[in-house]
Structure 1
Amino acid sequence: MNVQKSFSEGVNESSGSLYLVATPIGNLEDITFRAIRTLKEVQLIAAEDTRQTRKLLTHFEINTRIVSYHEHNKRASGPELIRLLLDGQSIALVSDAGLPAISDPGADLVKEAVENNIAIIPIPGANAALSALIMSGLPTERFLFAGFPPRERKSLTKWLQGFRAQQETLLFYESPHRISKTLGALLENLGDRSIACVRELTKRHEEAVRGRVSECIEWFAEHPPLGEFCIVVEGAGGANVIGQQSEEAWWSELDIEAHVAHYEEQYDRKEAIKKAALDRGLPKRDVYNEVNR
């Protein structure tokens, strides 16, 4: 059992506090007054990339000592940071951009701090995933942040299929050189859902590409993707074309064989299977296996 009262009088007298400080995701004006004050007042700043963080500190004339804490040195740096916290020093943890401890090793440091009864105090601020969600035009009542997709195709397929029945809007990050491959896998495994591909948030070239997965694939084939992306995907059963409420699918009372047979009146069998799979949000091979049993 661990109960933390962050601002009670007399709390944390024997140890310092770990501050999780949000930094701008692009526009420097998005940093808060509280974040600047905290970065000035702590004894130490632990940064994912010290070079990137030094630019921010220089801009705001912050002279606090900075040390490195990232995925490759966390086993060595983590225990030392915990020791300093237990000795009474307060430390600010920052990532390259946005909130720390989300899809980065800061989560491990937070876990260790909790286990050592060290106070953990969030300093809120900019976040790419939530910023992309609220501008996507997709449902915001329930959502699931999934981090970064796996790189290998087999793992990516398994990862995506795990979300096929997920009702919540899905959020994940992707790099520009992998987005086309990921969108292709998304179409194959989750169907032609409504999505928003948001890039360069808060920066000069901020852009949101909204539409069906197939439309976004075509767009990026003609407009090479640049910048880091946040992908927002309609949940299963949402059936919202962005900006419109869709009616019940015409094929809802058909089984898969009848669905494919309908398309075979106009197309060859391969194309009919493909179209039925897109309608149902199923992988083509699942539809193929069903009608060829």
Structure 2
Amino acid sequence: MTGTALDDHPARLVAADWAAHLARDRRRSVHTVRAYVAAAHRLIGFLGRHRAGAIGKAGLADVAQAELRAYLAERRQDGLANASAARELSALRGFLAFAGDGAPRMAGPRVKKGIPRPIAPDDAIGLAEDLDETASLPWIGARDFAVLLLLYGAGLRIGEALGLTAAALPLGETLVVTGKRAKTRVVPLIAPVRDAVQAYVDLCPYPLSRDLPLFRGARGGGLSADVIRRSVRGARVRLGLNDRTTPHALRHSFATHLLGRGADLRSLQELLGHASLSSTQVYTGVDAAHLLDIYRNAHPRA
């Protein structure tokens, strides 16, 4: 196109609007917004080169599956790993859905399955953010994000999180949780978990009475654990995560990461609500296996 630099794509204005939407309506972190919008700009630049012309909003509405595949192939040549490519594809699906009718259907890159291991912190947060971004309504996205942060950030079981009532509000620095056999325990709540729950409360369209469930389904009843499990299954496919990435795996990761940072077993037992120490000791094996993996992959004589 004579007189037009291919960097001057009108579609970059759409990416700017999407960035504002992610930050304002989806409450995504600055880091996430930056990463997602960078992916959008990379796609726009690729389409400009591929089509030899400036890309506007209309050009985003007719992106073909073959073009997305070619884009990912180019990114892979730059050294992008399968898991990162899957997450980038998920971000681009969100961008194209925002810009028009959505992305063409295509499977994400296959990710090699390894032995069960804790979910990496970035993947745990990425999983929660993916549920937030792909939800049908902003309040549902905020709800799912808050539930997963309670599992990963406070070590709750899915049933414990969904068993909370609005009597827990307003949240403080600790939360009383009723676990198995009606046993109660006190767990600390870090600020990101409290903020996530409050963001959901602010958006929830249903009145949150003290004696009713805190987390609501789309029709106003109590939220089902199966809804969260299905959403997590979809997110792990989009992000290329192992099929053992489940809501309960977030609780396992909470425990393993605390143990790796020096938490003692007795304190961990109390946080998890285990009746016996033997139930908690399984995490020493998980952590040792993870360290052995690191050793085998890194030591020159392994």
Which TM class, normalised by the smaller chain length?
under 0.3
Structure showing the higher strand proportion among its residues: 1
Structure showing the higher helix proportion among its residues: 2
Superposition TM-score, scaled by structure 2 size: 0.25
Superposition TM-score, scaled by structure 1 size: 0.25
